[in-house]
């Protein structure tokens, strides 16, 4: 009797229990085992090259290949034979990567019975999407790749670049790369490998990483491949948990890398206190260490470090350094002073009035004239005490009372419609520009607003090391009510609901890079503002009707802008260039 086969199912051939070439680093392959396999195979992935160690008959060839690594790239040798001998041949240049290799036998893979909601995984469809992939790499501290090389790779079947779309917004929120070893060099083991799995820490729906891995696995199952390998850092607990859930198991294969500035954290001891730094200080420390600059954490809670090259040291607190004078800092600290300096410099400012306890006459007059105002403490940061969209006299009194908790002097300004734009100026040059948007949640048709706020806040908190979270307070409830919802309502799928009025990142706001679209008039105003303040590093805030138009209104200047918010723009690189120009990368 013929064996019954179900339509749509593929016959899977079991792989050998122990593939000799990649699971036994001490194994000397026979001519039969490597018949038809390419030799000395090196693949360029844009961010670095994969050196397939099992294709090299002479270990000296691997050493020579890794010595050819380009500056700013990260080459990886996988499946080297006798890795301890390989490193011993060039101990000052090579090291064994502190990662683990996991393997999924594809004939054992089982599909998921239900659909991962909110995520659609597809193949990359345009060269422009490679730039979005690079943005995801940069946000996650990974080496970015050459987009042209990645696109050329993708146009062959050897490489597979997948992206995950958030079905609520249509935005790309994750990516993964696959390499088919059979097509690359005629791998007799029928292997494949997974690289660069990343999901947007702030915006990706739950399960995005799993969806990407599963689609890649199923692609290779469809090709009849034997296994899928990946390398993961030994301390990346969430990723390891996901891989084990999907059926991956440890194999003894290792990776070899070259001792370059990018890899320094993997083979050299780290300064004490480094792990306790917040993301805004840590990103600067990492860049300094990559350049060989000595980092001494002097106060981790404060984000303070001493950076040293040769006999010269600079003390920093996040992006604030000794290069910023006390006078420049005080000019930014008091918004009244900042406004006067801007007016003298010819930078447009919003109409404003001062208020204090029992002194609201000028503020009332301004409110009556313009209809809506913003009330803020004259001194303060991180959005504390600010009320946006004040309309009536009773609201004005409440807003001023709230601001007085943070400063005895209160500034009342005309509410100007437009996007909240942050322009980062370093050493008299615009390095980055980003639109900051107030926190919002997106309905999924299943959960109430309050649960969506909690989940979104958790993602923001994880992505920023606890620096950003959405408060569940009266202000959030009021903003949700203004949008026509109650906190317990279940909004429709894809419905965007604002939950905060200000775009402050510390209360869950998001940021969108617009550097390439910034109008020259606004860029020139930002540089003029920085020069007038006499400050080398600053974040200039504007309200603009359009980023690519010339109209703007100055809001304030920040003497300690958060550089971690502006990747992939080279803000950290330019900051360290300012401090130590002799380390500038040519």
pLDDT tens-digit map of 157-176: 999 999 999 998 889 999 99
Per-residue pLDDT averaged across 538-566, rounded?
Answer: 92
Beta bridge pairs of residue 10: none
Predicted confidence at residue 403, as pLDDT, reads: 82
Six-digit token string for 279: 């993301």
Q: 213-222, 252-261, 329-338, 532-541: which range is least confident on average?
A: 329-338
**Rounded distance between C-alpha atoms, residue 19 and residue 16, angstroms:** 6
160: Cα separation from own chain's centroid: 22
Predicted confidence at residue 185, as pLDDT, reads: 96
More confident of the two residues 6 and 440: 440
* Residue 140 pLDDT grade (very low, low, confident, very high; cuts 50, 70, 90): confident
Predicted confidence at residue 383, as pLDDT, reads: 67
pLDDT-above-90 percentage for the chain: 56
pLDDT tens-digit map of 44-96: 999 999 999 999 999 999 999 999 999 889 999 999 999 999 999 999 999 99
Predicted confidence at residue 364, as pLDDT, reads: 79
**Rounded distance between C-alpha atoms, residue 402 and residue 49, angstroms:** 57
Signed CA dihedral, 465, 466, 467, 468: sign only? positive
Per-residue pLDDT averaged across 359-384, rounded?
Answer: 78
Residue 182 has pLDDT above 50, yes or no: yes
Find, among 320, 274, 325, 291, the residue nearest to 580 by Cα.
291
Residue 2 has pLDDT above 50, yes or no: no
* Residue 391 pLDDT grade (very low, low, confident, very high; cuts 50, 70, 90): confident
Q: Looking at the chain, how many residues does it have?
A: 586
Eight-class DSSP state of 349: B
Predicted confidence at residue 8, as pLDDT, reads: 43
Predicted confidence at residue 575, as pLDDT, reads: 97
Residue 540 has pLDDT above 70, yes or no: yes
Q: Which residues of 64-91 are buried (b: 16+ CB within 10 A; e: fewer)?
A: ebbeebeeebbbbbbbbbebeebbeebe
Instruction: Collect all residues with Cβ–Cβ distance below 8 Å to 305 and sequence separation of at least 6.
Output: 277, 281, 284, 285, 295, 296, 297, 298, 315, 316, 317
More confident of the two residues 342 and 19: 342
Predicted confidence at residue 28, as pLDDT, reads: 80
More confident of the two residues 317 and 473: 317
Predicted confidence at residue 153, as pLDDT, reads: 97
Per-residue pLDDT averaged across 510-514, rounded?
Answer: 87
Residue 341 has pLDDT above 70, yes or no: yes
Q: Give 150: exposed, middle or buried? Use CB within 10 Å, 0-12, 13-18, 19+.
A: buried
pLDDT-above-70 percentage for the chain: 95
Per-residue pLDDT averaged across 306-313, rounded?
Answer: 92
Per-residue pLDDT averaged across 269-298, rounded?
Answer: 90
Per-residue pLDDT averaged across 177-196, rounded?
Answer: 96
Between the CA of residue 382 and those of 189, 322, 369, 544, what are the distances in Å?
A: 56, 22, 29, 20
**Rounded distance between C-alpha atoms, residue 329 and residue 304, angstroms:** 17
Predicted confidence at residue 382, as pLDDT, reads: 64
Judge whether 375 and 400 are in contact, CB under 8 Å.
Answer: yes
Predicted confidence at residue 68, as pLDDT, reads: 94
Residue 12 has pLDDT above 70, yes or no: no
Predicted confidence at residue 352, as pLDDT, reads: 78
Residue 406 has pLDDT above 90, yes or no: no
Please tell me whether the peptide bond between 568 and the residue prior to it is cis, using omega within 30 degrees of 0: yes
pLDDT tens-digit map of 416-462: 888 889 999 999 999 999 998 888 888 888 889 888 888 888 877 77
User: What is the overall mean pLDDT for the chain?
Assistant: 89
Predicted confidence at residue 237, as pLDDT, reads: 93
**Rounded distance between C-alpha atoms, residue 487 and residue 443, angstroms:** 12
Predicted confidence at residue 5, as pLDDT, reads: 43
Helix (H/G/I), strand (E/B), else coil: 144: coil
**Rounded distance between C-alpha atoms, residue 324 and residue 331, angstroms:** 11
* Residue 3 pLDDT grade (very low, low, confident, very high; cuts 50, 70, 90): very low
Between the CA of residue 395 and those of 158, 399, 402, 415, 525, what are the distances in Å?
A: 63, 6, 11, 14, 33
Predicted confidence at residue 494, as pLDDT, reads: 83
């Amino acid at each position: 009797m013929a064996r019954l086969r179900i339509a749509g199912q593929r016959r899977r051939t079991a792989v050998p229990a122990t593939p000799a070439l990649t699971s036994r680093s001490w194994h000397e392959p026979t001519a039969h085992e490597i018949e038809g396999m390419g030799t000395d195979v090196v693949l360029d992935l844009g961010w670095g090259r994969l050196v397939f160690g099992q294709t090299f008959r002479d270990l000296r060839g691997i050493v020579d290949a890794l010595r050819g690594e380009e500056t700013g790239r990260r080459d990886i040798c996988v499946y080297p034979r006798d890795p301890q001998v390989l490193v011993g041949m060039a101990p000052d240049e090579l090291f064994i990567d502190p990662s683990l290799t996991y393997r999924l036998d594809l004939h054992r893979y089982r599909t998921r019975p239900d659909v991962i909601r909110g995520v659609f995984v597809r193949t990359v469809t345009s060269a422009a999407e490679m730039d979005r992939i690079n943005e995801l790499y940069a946000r996650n501290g990974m080496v970015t790749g050459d987009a042209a090389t990645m696109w050329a790779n993708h146009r062959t079947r050897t490489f597979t670049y997948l992206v995950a779309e958030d079905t609520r917004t249509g935005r790309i929120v994750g990516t993964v790369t696959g390499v088919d070893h059979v097509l690359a060099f005629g791998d007799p083991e029928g292997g494949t490998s997974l690289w660069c799995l990343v999901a947007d820490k702030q915006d990706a729906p739950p399960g995005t990483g799993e969806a990407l891995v599963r689609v890649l696995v199923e692609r290779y199952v469809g090709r009849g491949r034997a296994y899928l390998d990946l390398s993961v850092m030994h301390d990346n607990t969430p990723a390891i948990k996901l891989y084990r859930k999907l059926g991956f198991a440890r194999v003894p294969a290792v990776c070899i890398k070259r001792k370059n500035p990018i890899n320094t954290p993997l083979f050299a001891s780290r300064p004490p206190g480094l792990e306790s730094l917040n993301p805004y200080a840590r990103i600067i420390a990492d860049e300094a260490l990559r350049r060989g600059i000595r980092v001494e954490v002097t106060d981790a809670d404060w984000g303070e470090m001493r950076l040293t090259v040769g006999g010269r040291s600079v003390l920093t607190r996040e992006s604030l350094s000794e290069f910023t004078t006390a006078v420049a800092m005080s000019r930014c600290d008091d918004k009244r002073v900042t406004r006067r300096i801007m007016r003298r410099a010819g930078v447009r400012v919003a109409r404003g009035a001062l208020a204090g306890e029992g002194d609201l006459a000028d503020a009332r007059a301004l409110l009556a004239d313009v209809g809506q105002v913003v009330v803020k403490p004259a001194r303060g940061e991180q959005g504390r005490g600010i009320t946006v969209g004040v309309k009536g006299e009773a609201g004005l009194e409440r807003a001023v009372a709230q601001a007085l908790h943070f400063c005895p002097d209160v500034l009342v300004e005309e509410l100007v419609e437009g996007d909240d734009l942050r322009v980062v100026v370093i050493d008299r040059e615009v390095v980055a520009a980003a639109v900051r948007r107030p926190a919002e949640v997106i309905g999924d048709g299943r959960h109430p607003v309050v649960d969506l706020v909690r989940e979104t806040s958790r993602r923001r908190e994880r992505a920023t090391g606890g620096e950003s979270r959405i408060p569940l307070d009266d202000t959030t409830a009021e903003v949700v009510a203004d949008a026509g919802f109650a906190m317990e309502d279940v909004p429709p799928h894809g419905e965007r609901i604002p939950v905060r009025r200000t775009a402050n990142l510390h209360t869950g706001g998001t940021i969108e890079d617009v550097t390439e679209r910034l109008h020259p008039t606004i860029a020139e105003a930002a540089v003029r503002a920085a020069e007038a303040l006499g400050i080398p590093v600053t974040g200039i805030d504007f309200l603009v009707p359009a980023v690519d138009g010339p109209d703007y209104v100055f809001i304030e200047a920040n003497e300690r802008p958060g550089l971690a918010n502006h990747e992939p723009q080279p803000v950290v690189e330019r900051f360290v260039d300012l401090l130590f120009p002799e380390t500038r990368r040519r």
